[in-house]
Each structure stands twice: as C-alpha cells, then as structure tokens.
C-alpha cells in the first residue's frame, strides 16, 4: 500500500460473536486501522474483537444506524473509510481492488462494492438481492453516512462513483428465526423514519402483495428455488408489518 494513503475499517456491532471473527480475519494485515463501535453487546463480541489489533469503543445510547456510523467514523484517522458489517467477509479479489483504489488516492471518488448475500446457507443470485451494489469505500474527509435511522447510505452528492471488482460476502441469516428477528428489529426504526407517509390496513395489504409479486416474479425470485419463495414471503410479511405499524402509530396521534 502507498505510504501516502491509508484505509481504515468502520464496524458497528451488537452481539456479533457468531460473525465477527470471520469478518476481522478477512481484513487482517492489509488495513491501517480498525474501529469497532459497539452498542451494548452482552455476548463475547468484545472478547473476540480484542484478539485483533482494533480500537474498541462503546456507546449504548442507540441513535439509529446512520448516526452510529457517523460516530464510528469520527474515531478513524485514515485517508479512506471501508465500512463493513460484522457479518460480511472481504474476498481476496475485492481486497486487491480496494488496495488499488486506495493507492490511486482519488479523493473525488467513492467506490461501490457488490455484496453477495447468503441466506440459510445459500448465496442468492436473484430475488432483487443480486447484484447488490453499495457504496462502502470513500474518502474520510470528503463525506460520511447520512442520519437515517435504518437503510442508511453514504452521501455521494459531491463525489464520483466507481465500481470495484470482487465480492463482499454477506451472511445475513443462518435460520429463519434469526433472520426474522433481525428484520423485525428494523420495523420501529422504519416507522419513525417514514411518519410522513400515508398508511392503512388496506394499503398494508396492497404493498405486501406488490412486494411478493415484485420479488418472486419481476426480480426472478423463482430462480432461487425454495429460498426465493421464502424471501418473497418474508419480504411481503415485513412490508405488511411495517405499513400496519405505521397506520397504528398515525392512529395513536
């Protein structure tokens, strides 16, 4: 790596003992700094993290995903930020692409990475899950994450974007129960972020049916076999819950 450009990894965690080791193993020896901001883990997340050369911080006052990532970025001192989740693994081809981009040190650019999502032991190739291009590598002093409570994104208005070669492996759920638990945790955040939208039980049903059709038919979910069917069903279910929760919240007001 060029001495003139450095890259640091940003990770936010909560009870990630099952995933964190594989994530950290994939970035060992080639990044300059690793910052982990934990939001109150009660498992072995901290113990696992401290087996690596990381900087550990804790902040259990959860402000939402966007602001939590902003807080983590404040702890970094590198030229470039590589934002990862604890359940993601950097492949060797992606590593080479990241290092090549950092070596160029083009501060007017940020980089999109293609995630390959693994659900219930299978990599999903359709269902709207692939390709899954997201901005994850960007110059630290030029931009940051927005303040969205959930589905946060890097602000790229004043930057160009390029795509990197290689995949980021994302192990999003081992079991149906773990996946549903994680997805359900986003419902309140989504409602708080979308109070400006109209909703009713009828709209919840319409949105849910639409999501199933889009995921399973338009996005070729049927080509993912039973996994594609499950994804379409669960996506429909969570859309129904989100819009129902939004309608109830509005009724309370």
Q: What's 134's domain CATH number?
A: 3.90.550.10
31 & 76 share domain: yes
In this predicted model, what pLDDT tens digit does every residue of 142-168 receive, in sequence order?
A: 999 999 999 999 999 989 999 999 999
Which among 52-56, 59-63, 190-194 has the top mean pLDDT? 52-56
For residues 183 and 243, membership in a common domain is answered with yes
State residue 253's pLDDT score.
Answer: 64
Q: Are residues 145 and 71 in the same domain?
A: yes
Name which residue leads in pLDDT, 182 or 248. 248
Do 110 and 196 fall within a single domain?
no
Domain annotation covers residue 1: no
Q: In the predicted model, what is the mean pLDDT of residues 49-67? A: 96
Write down how long the chain is. 253
Same domain for 200 and 101: no
Taking only the tens place, the pLDDT of each residue in 94-111 is: 999 999 999 999 999 999
The residue from 156, 173, 190 where one domain ends is: 173
User: Of the candidates 146, 173, 200, which is a domain's last residue?
Assistant: 173
Q: Is the pLDDT of residue 123 over 90?
A: yes
Domain contains 224: yes
pLDDT tens-digit series, residues 201-253? 999 999 999 999 999 999 999 999 999 999 999 999 999 999 999 999 987 76
Statement to judge: residues 146 and 234 lie in one domain: no
Q: Are residues 213 and 148 in the same domain?
A: no
- 187 and 166 within one domain: no
Residue 177 has a pLDDT of: 87
Does residue 2 lie in a domain region? no
Q: Does position 120 have pLDDT exceeding 80, yes or no?
A: yes
Higher-pLDDT residue of 3, 93: 93
**pLDDT tens digits, residue range 11-56?**
999 999 999 999 999 999 999 999 999 999 999 999 999 999 999 9
Assigned domain for 68 exists: yes
Chain mean pLDDT for the chain: 95
Same domain, 56 and 104: yes
Residue 2's pLDDT band (cuts 50, 70, 90): very low
Distance CA 246, CA 253 (A): 11
Residues 136 and 212 in one domain: no
Alpha carbon separation from 28 to 4, 52, 91 (Å, rounded): 20, 8, 12
Domain of 102? 7-173
List, as own/partner pairs, every contact residues 206-214 make where C-beta atoms lie below 8 angstroms and the sequence separation is at least 24, other chains included: 207/239, 207/240, 207/243, 208/236, 208/237, 208/239, 208/240, 208/243, 209/236, 211/235, 211/236, 211/239, 212/236, 214/128
Instruction: Give the pLDDT confidence score for residue 3 in this predicted structure.
Output: 67
Q: Are 73 and 45 in a shared domain?
A: yes
Number of domain units in the chain: 2
Three-class SS state of 36: strand
- Same domain? For 96 and 41 the reply is yes
pLDDT-based confidence at 184, cuts 50/70/90? confident
């Amino acid at each position: 790596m060029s001495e003139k450009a450095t890259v640091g990894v940003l990770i936010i965690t909560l009870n990630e003992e099952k995933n964190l080791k594989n994530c950290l193993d994939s970035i060992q020896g080639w990044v300059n700094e690793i910052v982990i901001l934990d939001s109150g883990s009660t498992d072995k997340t901290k113990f696992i993290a401290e087996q690596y050369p990381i900087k550990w911080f804790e902040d259990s006052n959860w402000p939402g995903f966007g602001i939590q990532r902003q807080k983590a970025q404040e702890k970094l001192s590198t030229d470039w930020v590589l934002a990862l989740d604890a359940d993601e693994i950097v492949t060797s081809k992606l590593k080479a692409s990241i290092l090549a981009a950092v070596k160029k040190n083009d501060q007017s650019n940020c980089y999109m990475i293609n995630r390959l999502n693994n659900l219930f032991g299978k990599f999903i190739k359709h269902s709207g899950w692939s390709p899954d291009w997201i901005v994850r590598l960007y110059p630290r002093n030029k931009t940051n994450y927005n303040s969205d409570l959930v589905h946060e994104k890097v602000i790229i208005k004043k930057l160009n974007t390029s795509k990197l070669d290689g995949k980021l492996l994302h192990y999003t759920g081992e079991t149906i129960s773990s996946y549903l638990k994680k997805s359900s945790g986003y419902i309140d955040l989504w409602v708080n972020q979308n109070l400006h939208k109209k909703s009713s039980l009828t709209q919840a049903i319409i949105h849910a049916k639409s999501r199933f059709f889009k995921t399973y038919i338009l996005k070729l979910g049927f080509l993912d076999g039973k996994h594609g069917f499950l994804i379409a069903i669960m996506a429909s279910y969570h859309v129904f819950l989100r819009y129902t929760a939004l309608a109830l919240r509005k009724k309370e007001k």
